[in-house]
């Protein structure tokens, strides 16, 4: 089972990252692998054995992008967040220098 990081900080925002075995659907009815709740300061990620480590990593990045979108006032749509998360992971995997170069 993948070990999640404990926290995500962005500017003055601080999120606790919480692994949960399952979660109810969101308000808009979409089924989720995770959820970010700014008012609670928590990001929930489903980490049950049905989900591969690759999927869980993508879900965490997806939720982080939601948090950044909100903090920056971007108002990104769900499909934009999904596309960016998928694309960013693919870029990182094809360009291993990126992780070190941008930190
Ligand atoms: Zn989403």
Looking at residue 28, what is its pLDDT? 56
Average pLDDT over residues 60-88: 95
Kindly list the protein residues that place their beta carbon closer than 5 angstroms to ligand 1, a single-atom ion.
Answer: 78
CATH class held by domain 7-101: mainly alpha
CA of 44 to the centre of ligand 1 (A): 12
pTM of the model: 0.89
C-alpha–C-alpha distance, residues 34 and 58, integer Å: 10
Percent of the chain whose predicted confidence (pLDDT) is above 70:
93
**Position 1 pLDDT exceeds 80:** no
Reduced to 3 states (helix: H, G, I; strand: E, B; else coil), residue 18 is strand
Q: How far is the CA of 84 from the centre of ligand 1 (A)?
A: 11
Domain ranges of the chain: 7-101
Q: What is the pLDDT of residue 31?
A: 56
- What's the token pair of residue 13? 């925002």
């Amino acid at each position: 089972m993948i070990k999640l990081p404990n926290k995500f900080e962005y500017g003055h925002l601080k999120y606790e990252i919480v692994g949960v075995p399952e979660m109810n659907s969101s308000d808009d009815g979409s089924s989720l692998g995770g959820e970010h709740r700014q008012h609670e300061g928590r990001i929930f990620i489903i980490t049950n054995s049905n989900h591969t480590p690759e999927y869980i990593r993508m879900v965490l990045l997806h939720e982080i992008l939601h948090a950044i979108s909100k903090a920056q006032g971007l108002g990104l749509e769900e499909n934009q967040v999904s596309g960016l998360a998928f694309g960013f992971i693919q870029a990182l995997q094809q360009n291993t220098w990126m992780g070190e170069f941008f930190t």
